């Protein structure tokens, strides 16, 4: 089977190469005077560049301004935060502490000891409340305020190996 696929691939590649060679050999150099077009477009080129740059900035602003990223400071004082250190490994989480208070902002400091993981916080209805990446050698910060007490699930959102589906832990909010 592999040798058949290999042979078909070689034949198709040879045909494509033959078409390119045929076009190259049979093409003729056309003498055309482009000086009038060149002169005109050199004058327009600078204006066109600034028009496209301005358009790009406007489109970027309009598309990213309503982006649903919560403000990561929100006027909280540093001592108002509860800090949870989260380390991820194949295929488990360690959180210190694993209990927080409702109504107070929680700063999750998320990192990984091996491969990339996706850190997702889910409520009891399995609705995603917040997420960030867990990356080796880098600590991401996620700030979230839990409105009500309960058990919240932490799931991995990025495939990290054979036991990825079992990479679940719980956070208790009192």
Quick one: 86 and 20 in the same domain? no
Are residues 86 and 169 both part of a single domain?
yes
Structure confidence by residue, pLDDT tens digits, 87-127: 988 888 889 888 898 888 888 999 998 888 989 999 888 88
Question: How many CB atoms sit inside 10 A of residue 121's CB?
Answer: 20
Task: Select the more confidently predicted residue: 108 or 32.
Answer: 108
DSSP annotation of 114 reads: S
pLDDT band (50, 70, 90) for residue 20:
very high
Phi then psi for residue 38, to 5 deg, are: -60, -45
Taking residue 108's Cβ as centre, other Cβ atoms within 10 Å add up to 24
Burial class of residue 90 in the structure, from the number of CB atoms within 10 Å of its CB (0-12 exposed, 13-18 middle, 19+ buried): middle
User: Which pLDDT does position 122 carry in this prediction?
Assistant: 92
The mean pLDDT of 21-36, rounded to a whole number, is: 80
pLDDT at 74: 57
Domain with 57 in it: 2-25+35-64
**Does residue 144 sit within a domain?**
yes
Here the CATH number for the domain that contains residue 117 is 2.60.40.420
pTM of the model: 0.56
Nearest to 149 by CA among 81, 105, 103: 103
């Amino acid at each position: 089977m592999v040798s058949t696929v290999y042979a078909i691939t070689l034949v198709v590649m040879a045909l494509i190469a033959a078409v390119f060679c045929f076009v190259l050999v049979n093409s003729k150099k056309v003498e055309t005077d482009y000086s009038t077009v060149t002169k005109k477009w050199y004058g327009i080129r600078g204006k066109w560049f600034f028009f496209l740059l301005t358009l790009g900035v406007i489109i970027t602003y309009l598309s990213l301004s309503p982006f649903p990223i919560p403000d990561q400071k929100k006027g909280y004082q540093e001592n108002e935060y509860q800090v949870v250190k989260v380390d991820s490994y194949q295929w488990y989480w360690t959180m210190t502490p694993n209990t927080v208070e409702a109504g107070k902002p929680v700063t999750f400091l998320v990192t990984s000891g091996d491969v990339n993981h996706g850190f997702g916080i889910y409520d009891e209805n399995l609705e995603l409340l917040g997420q960030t990446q867990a990356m080796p050698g880098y600590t991401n910060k996620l700030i979230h305020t839990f409105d009500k007490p309960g058990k919240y699930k932490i799931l991995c959102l990025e495939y990290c190996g054979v036991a990825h589906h079992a990479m679940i832990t719980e956070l208790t909010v009192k």
